[in-house]
Chains A and B, each alone.
Chain A
Amino acid sequence: MVAEPLIRVADVEKVYKTGDVEVRALRGVSLDVRPGEFVAIMGSSGSGKSTLMNLLGCLDRPTSGSYRLAGREVARMNKNELAEVRSEILGFVFQSFNLLARTSALENVELPLVYRGVGGAERRRRARLALERVGLGARLDHTPAQLSGGQQQRVAIARALVGDPKVILADEPTGNLDSQTSIDVMALFQELGRAGITIVLVTHEPDIAECASRVVVVKDGLIVTDREQVPRPARSAPAAGAEVHP
């Protein structure tokens, strides 16, 4: 039995209209991602990789073409249905972390569960587990201002993990981090990948892309390269609960 890929993008086009000018950000993109893959999407700015990421993240809808995510056609869903898909299937990690200021790590991680209607005690239990998984079990009550950049991104990853997503989408997750911290974060992603979580990551740094098991290069709205590779180990992953940079 051949299982359907987790992500199946077929002939997707995206056209933006700015006044009279039409910008064809994606010009017929097809991409399948199987469960457990760690895909790095690369491309220069203006290549269409961000547009592709927004479509994969169900934040935007394609102008034409089909996008099946976990067996559901999402290309024609309305805002509410998309919000449900994001809540149930996806987890997001952003370049600038996007944590709520003056809110503890635990509460930040709880947030996706709040919108799923999970009860308070269960929310806290799962958020604590997610934070322990990214090695921040000792910093539950810290606010973002009390955490380093690497730790903040770990909180954001815990937030993406807490809802047991099928796919984690990371948009330049190391863009705001120094190289050592970047390596730690990538090691964490690799560990999650080994645990079976599908990861799609956008980057423009080749050495970050080397950590993935597959590299997709986007140029002028088309996929120009799509190759599998043996991932380069970022580093041996930190043990749960241990602090790399105290």
Chain B
Amino acid sequence: MNPLVTVVVAFRAVLRNKMRSFLTTLGIIIGVAAVIAMMAIGAGAKAQVEQAFSAMGTNLLIVMPGSTTAGGSFGGFGSMPTLTWDDLAAIRAEVPAVKAAAPQLRANQSIVSDELNWTTSITGTSPDYFEIRSWPVAVGAPFTQADVDAGSKVVVLGQTVVERLFGPSANPVGQTVRIGQSPFGVVGVLEKKGQSPSGQDYDDAAFIPMTTFAQRIQGGLGKFLTGTIFVQATGSDTTQRAMTDVQALLRDRHHIPPGGEDDFSIRNLSEVASAQQQGTETMTTLLASVAAVSLLVGGIGIMNIMLVSVTERTREIGLRMAIGAKPRSILLQFLVEALVLSLTGGLIGVALGVGTASWLAGKFRWPMQIQVDVIGISVVFSALVGVVFGIYPARKASQLDPIDALRYE
């Protein structure tokens, strides 16, 4: 029997019992749809986390001052300034795995333009900062080391702040804003960066030289650096070494004896990112395996209905054998029928899965990524389910004795 005829005969047999065929394939449809929707949403979430962390900066370490201990109560990280300006200089100069380091001093302050005002996070830092966080300037230029040295009153604004102070798509470079009592010249506007992994708006910020920050906002440049230090390693493979080296350097500089507790802490952002990604991946795998179980159940449904079909058509099988069908032709006929069921279910499932994922993504504003390889694997897998669960009923049909089959009532 030629393949085309076999497929046509199989399709006809499947269409003969439309409702039954549909219910049989429902297991596969739901299974495939669930796998595809889950994987699409999972991949979207993963991509979002990845993008969010790469927005924070690559190969990034954050050095935070340690905690105070007052009467047995721990004040939490950053409650006491333990990092000094000299520490920053030492990290820059003495650790080879460090590419750049910049302080981040923060305070919430109101910024006033000619007509509007907006309270935002003012950050005092050095020009390296924009490079460390891979955050280029869209209009104008970042402030320079000279500005830092001189304590110039210049500011680089984030997009959200520009919108609030000057309105959308305005170019504020060259204008003057007031922070506290002092006028600051706007020298640059940063590119839009979006949201942090925790949903914070990166663009709602303004940046001024660290020296200016210390003098104007903190009221004097002391010995201690009252903020955190952003450190960028030379590469992803040196991030870990940079971390241990910075730790050793700071312990030495702070005269902490061996076995003593650090009075600072270092966070490796790529570790945080990979931990979060792992969480997403675990969740996706879990959901996808539940969906895969549903595929298996769908396969059992197909086997069940194929067994019913073989029994129902015993006389037909006997007749086909009597007029010259070889056992192999009968086997193939029922196998192709199972395959038609499962593959049709798989394709409907793909359509439904893509539809569901898009709908969910639209409705709940979830990120989504349709993965072509997952679609391919799902279709192949559903075909496989058809073959695996169809082979037993098909074998049963092909091994019928034609005499008994013809006499079957």
Set of chain A residues within 8 Å of B402, measured between Cβ atoms: 59
Set of chain B residues within 8 Å of A54, measured between Cβ atoms: 403
From B16, B319, B327, contact of A79 by CB (8 A): B327
B5 contacts A114, C-beta separation under 8 Å: yes
B324 contacts A115, C-beta separation under 8 Å: yes
Interface string of B309-341 (1 = CB under 8 A from A): 000000110111111111111000000000000
Set of chain A residues within 8 Å of B328, measured between Cβ atoms: 80
A184 CA to B16 CA, complexed, in Å: 34
Size of the chain B interface, CB-CB below 8 angstroms: 21
From A79, A80, A111, contact of B320 by CB (8 A): A111
B406 contacts A60, C-beta separation under 8 Å: no
B326 contacts A59, C-beta separation under 8 Å: no
A59-B403, A115-B329 known; A100 and B323 CB under 8 Å?
A: no
- The residue in chain B whose Cβ has the minimal distance to the Cβ of A53 is B403
Set of chain B residues within 8 Å of A117, measured between Cβ atoms: 1-2
- B158, chain A: closest CB distance, angstroms: 72
- B372, chain A: closest CB distance, angstroms: 37
A94-B406, A98-B406, A102-B16 known; A116 and B324 CB under 8 Å?
A: yes
- The residue in chain B whose Cβ has the minimal distance to the Cβ of A101 is B316
Set of chain A residues within 8 Å of B315, measured between Cβ atoms: 98
A88 CA to B324 CA, complexed, in Å: 8
Set of chain A residues within 8 Å of B321, measured between Cβ atoms: 59, 83, 86
A92 CA to B324 CA, complexed, in Å: 10
A135 CA to B285 CA, complexed, in Å: 66
- A191, chain B: closest CB distance, angstroms: 22
From A80, A114, A159, A163, contact of B326 by CB (8 A): A80
A115 contacts B325, C-beta separation under 8 Å: yes
- B99, chain A: closest CB distance, angstroms: 73
- A236, chain B: closest CB distance, angstroms: 30
A146 CA to B158 CA, complexed, in Å: 82
The A-contacting residues of B in range 1-37, CB under 8 angstroms, are 1-2, 5, 16
From B5, B316, B324, B329, contact of A86 by CB (8 A): B324
Known A-B contacts: A87-B323, A94-B319, A115-B320. Give 16 more (CB < 8 A).
A57-B322, A59-B406, A83-B321, A83-B325, A83-B326, A83-B327, A84-B324, A86-B321, A86-B324, A92-B323, A98-B319, A100-B316, A100-B319, A102-B16, A115-B324, A115-B326
Listed A/B pairs (13) with beta-carbon separation below 8 Å: A59-B321, A79-B326, A83-B325, A84-B324, A86-B322, A87-B324, A92-B323, A98-B318, A102-B16, A115-B320, A115-B329, A120-B5, A159-B323
- Chain A residues with a Cβ under 8 A of chain B: 54, 57, 59-60, 79-80, 83-84, 86-88, 91-92, 94, 98, 100, 102, 111-112, 114-117, 120, 159, 163
